Amino acid sequence: MQEILNAPFVAELIRTLTNMYRHGWDERNGGNVSVRLDEDALRDYLDLRAVRRTIPTGFDAPDLDGEYFLITGTGKYFKNAQYAPDRDLGLVRLAEGGRQADLLWGFTDGGSFTSEFPAHMMSHLARRRVDPETRVVMHCHPGNLLAMTFVHELDERAFTRTLWRMCTECLMVFPDGVNVLPWMVCGTTAIGEATARKMETARLVVWAHHGIYASGRDLDETFGLIETAEKAAEVYLKIAHLPICSSITDSQLHEIESRFGVKARPGYLDPAPGSVLPETVQPMSSWA
């Protein structure tokens, strides 16, 4: 049996959490991350029959029964994960219709998973229906996106269009746009359900005056989604009070669609001359 701390999925999560903290996205114990793992990836590192303890989840998720998740702990500081990963992280398997989590590794101080666990699991379910390869849900508090929710209307189309116009790469990175929730109490089933509904149509969901939820196929993709949207929000805040002399137009955004094989969310751009907008979101092809 190999040492689990040497497992690529643990090392990558630690590296990501450290970067998130250094970016200023996860002050104190703010933020949480979960990664869905296959059983085959775990067998070399854990005895999957050895359950250390069980933790109630507080909700039903029969479609996730038997699934494995590496997840951050409640009250844990991301800056410390690199020094005490077996304390600040946990690996769980859902059981009993999702009402119970079997702890297989981690949380050695007796702790538990993040209070946003229901929101994570609901978002995993929602995104998996859209893209079965989705494996990561990430929540953090990027300062510029958070600030933008105070000064920009929260209409999703308007919010998305503003971000797309701030950096040429934005439409390429998140053509499905950004969904927005009004302020809600965090750590509740209600905000988890609302976030999951928003995740059905976009991989980025902004929580007004709080932060952002993102989902992707791996940690790099998910981190990059937030990083790109956060850069766009930073540019917006730097120029919003200034007279605008030039801007990326809808026609130019349509050029990006053509050049890089992406399709903007239907109805979010004005139609190109002589064209008709598609009725459904088309798959995003690689532009790297």
Catalogue the active-site residues: 116
Nearest to 232 by CA among 156, 142, 150: 142
Q: What whole-number distance in Å separates Cα of residue 31 and Cα of residue 55?
A: 20
Residue 59 DSSP symbol: S
Which of 200, 148, 152 minimizes the C-alpha distance to 179? 200
Which distant-in-sequence residues (6+ apart) come within 8 Å of 265 by Cβ? 160, 175, 176, 177, 201, 202, 281
Q: Is 271 helix (H, G, I), strand (E, B) or coil?
A: coil
Q: How far apart are CA 70 and CA 13, in angstroms?
A: 9
CA distance 226 to 213: 8
Residue 75: what residue type? G
Please, are residues 138 and 213 in contact by the beta-carbon 8 Å criterion?
Answer: yes
**CB-based contact 222:136 (threshold 8 Å):** yes
Beta carbons within 8 Å of 58's beta carbon, 6+ residues apart: 99, 117, 118, 189
Angle at 285 between CA 141 and CA 229, to 5 degrees: 20
Distance CA 122, CA 220 (A): 21
- Token pair 């999703």 in the structure block, residue: 156
Amino acid type, 71: I
